[in-house]
Chain A
Amino acid sequence: MVRRVLALTSGRIAVAVLAVIALLAVLGPALAPQDPLATGDSPLAGFSAGHWLGTDHLGRDVFSRLLDGSRVSVLGSLEVALTALVVGVVPGILSVYLGRAFEWITLRVVDTLVALPFLLFAVAVIALLGNGITQAMLVTGVLVSPLFYRVSRAATLVVARSPYVEAALVSGASVGWIVRHHVWAKVLPPIAVALAQTIGTGFVIVSSLTFLGIGVQPPEPTWGGLLASDLGYLDQRPWAPLLPALLITVTVWACNLLADAIRDVSGEAGRALADERRAGRRRSEPTPAGGTR
């Protein structure tokens, strides 16, 4: 599937953008030219050789703060997506196989989770457990998990009722065998789409919380926090909020672009595309004589 995603221009662009963002998260703090927390004596300065993107209202280097703040945003969004993945996918698949009681209970739990506003819930958790992005993102991940539950359940239901699964059953295959050999490959593409989307949603959630000053203790830099602080000085540096806003927007856009690319190359349409390419390759190869079709 990776090869098929990379065969699309949109897939290549999305992967390239997300790779840069991931590199920023890993190497950003090390690459920061100055201490992101160190205040200077030239607040709200413009672009210069010393401060490539200027300084904020306390004279801190904006470029260093953007690089340093990338890790919190990336880790937070990944935490949301991976928590949702683990909490949602496993019961989603098993709800088709483990009988009516398990199905009913998990469906009602999912209905309940959908009814809870996750941003408010994350704020409430931080209020209860103290200011920390990790616990807030874990709770948000659980509240976002119904998406994964529904996606994996729907894909499993389609596969479970297909004749090839019945053929496997008639051969004596166990549920574990069927999930490993038939269900998993079909459920994976929609889950990958949901995962890419949720990482984007995670970015928005982390940015929203840090914009409100929740989850990260100042003066720790975050993209949302930078956006919020820059908004207070629009008359002196009107362009300043554009930088963190652009980073957040491009990252979320790349996540959605990747989700679209995965959807384009998976399922029936993706299979038809792959079959067509394979048939094209075969046509270009010399065919051995005596084939019976």
Chain B
Amino acid sequence: MTTGSPTDSPAGTPAGGPVPPADVPGRAPAVPVLAVTGLDVHHGRRRRRRPVLHGVSLTVAPGETLGLIGETGSGKTTLARAVLGLVRPSAGSITLAGEEVSTHGARQWRALRRRGIVQYVFQDPLRSLDPDLTVERSLAEPLLVGGVPRAEAATRIRAVLARVRLEEDLLGRVPGELSGGQRQRAAVARALVTEPRLVILDEPVSALDSAHRVQILRILKELRAAGVALLFISHDLGSVAGSADRIAVLHRGELVESGTARDVITRPRHPYTRLLVGSAPTLRGAPADRAARDALRALLPA
């Protein structure tokens, strides 16, 4: 696990060439599970074309948890979708486990995805599980698509259920029969069943109550301890702060700040990060006062 990697560059800093992997002193540099360099993504075509991401560079080392925070519309989900090949980048490079993927065609993407090295946990667990399929069939899908025999898939599904603390009798149910927390754990189980090296979690706890939130965050901590790299996307600094090794802040499609979780939270440099930190509610008292927040907001580009 690496912390304080200097490779996530805020927009505007030169990002020429591939990003060097995060180093661990005394060892050969580890190849990052994910390296994004100078990524530009546009939505729309011709006259409706508008930039969504601009010059984003970041890396996630093996076993590391990178928290990606930003408000709604800042481009967090688009970044995840670009990494997964669901959105085509306009410029920049994306490397997954050492393989350059930004130029991949549909067939190459399919082959890469079937290896199951990167998985995605969607924002809405109810809609990311087929309402007509039982939990078992949904969990088996990534394995069967990847060519794993049914018997082995059944064994692996039961093993992963224990990791996310779901009972086996839920396997025969459809998502509509599960509670919100069970659905989210089923969605996490689906992502883990292929034993991925990187899991991208898009707002995994924002729709959950605090008890289920703690449960999911505990599962994520265990994953981190097991060496799975996580890209934890959230608009809520509070839920990322306790789980992430490093935090990257995305604002209006640009990476404005990155650093260790402690540094970003205790010594935010960019006005937007200061605004996020100042806006986070605490149990001990009110967040930063309104005048301070308004002053910070005034510093941000329109």
Contact = CB atoms under 8 A, between A and B. Distances in A.
Contacts of B194: 171
**Closest 4 CB pairs between A and B?**
A172-B113, A172-B114, A171-B142, A163-B128
Interface of B: 84, 86, 110-116, 118-120, 122-124, 127-133, 138, 141-142, 145-146, 165, 167, 169, 174, 176-177, 179, 181-182, 190, 194
Interface in A262-293: 271-272, 275, 278-279, 288, 291-293
Contacts of A167: 120, 122, 128-129, 141, 190
Interface string A164-191: 1011111111100100011001100000
Nearest to B165: A292
Interface of A: 162-164, 166-174, 177, 181-182, 185-186, 271-272, 275, 278-279, 288, 291-293
B113 A170 contact: yes
Given A171-B146, A181-B141, A271 B131 contact: yes
A89 B111 CA distance: 30
A275 B190 contact: no
Nearest to B166: A292
A157 to B, nearest CB: 15
A171 B116 contact: yes
Given A166-B86, A166-B122, A292-B167, A171 B127 contact: no
A65 to B, nearest CB: 47
A291 B167 contact: yes
A162 B146 CA distance: 21
A182 to B, nearest CB: 6
Contact of B113 (A171, A181, A186): A171
A181 B129 CA distance: 12
20 contacts: A163-B127, A164-B131, A168-B141, A170-B119, A171-B116, A171-B145, A171-B146, A172-B112, A172-B114, A174-B110, A177-B145, A181-B130, A181-B141, A182-B130, A271-B132, A271-B176, A278-B177, A288-B169, A291-B167, A293-B179
A185 B132 contact: yes
Contact of A293 (B122, B145, B182): B182
Contacts of B128: 163-164, 166-167
Contact of B176 (A173, A177, A275, A291): A275
Contacts of A181: 130, 133, 141
A172 B113 CA distance: 5
Contacts of B177: 275, 278-279
Contacts of A293: 179, 181-182
Contact of B110 (A172, A186, A275, A279): A172
A170 B120 contact: yes
B132 A186 contact: yes
A172 B111 contact: yes
B129 A164 contact: yes
Nearest to B178: A293
A162 B145 contact: no
Nearest to A278: B177
A163 B145 contact: no
Nearest to B122: A163
Contacts of A292: 165, 167
Contacts of B131: 164, 271
Given A271-B131, A293-B182, 16 more contacts: A163-B123, A163-B124, A163-B128, A167-B122, A169-B113, A170-B84, A171-B142, A172-B112, A172-B146, A174-B110, A271-B176, A272-B176, A275-B174, A279-B177, A291-B167, A293-B179
Nearest to A173: B145
A168 B145 contact: yes
A166 B120 CA distance: 10
Contacts of A173: 141, 145
Contacts of A174: 110
A160 to B, nearest CB: 12
Contacts of A278: 177
A172 B86 CA distance: 12
Contacts of B190: 167
Contacts of B84: 170
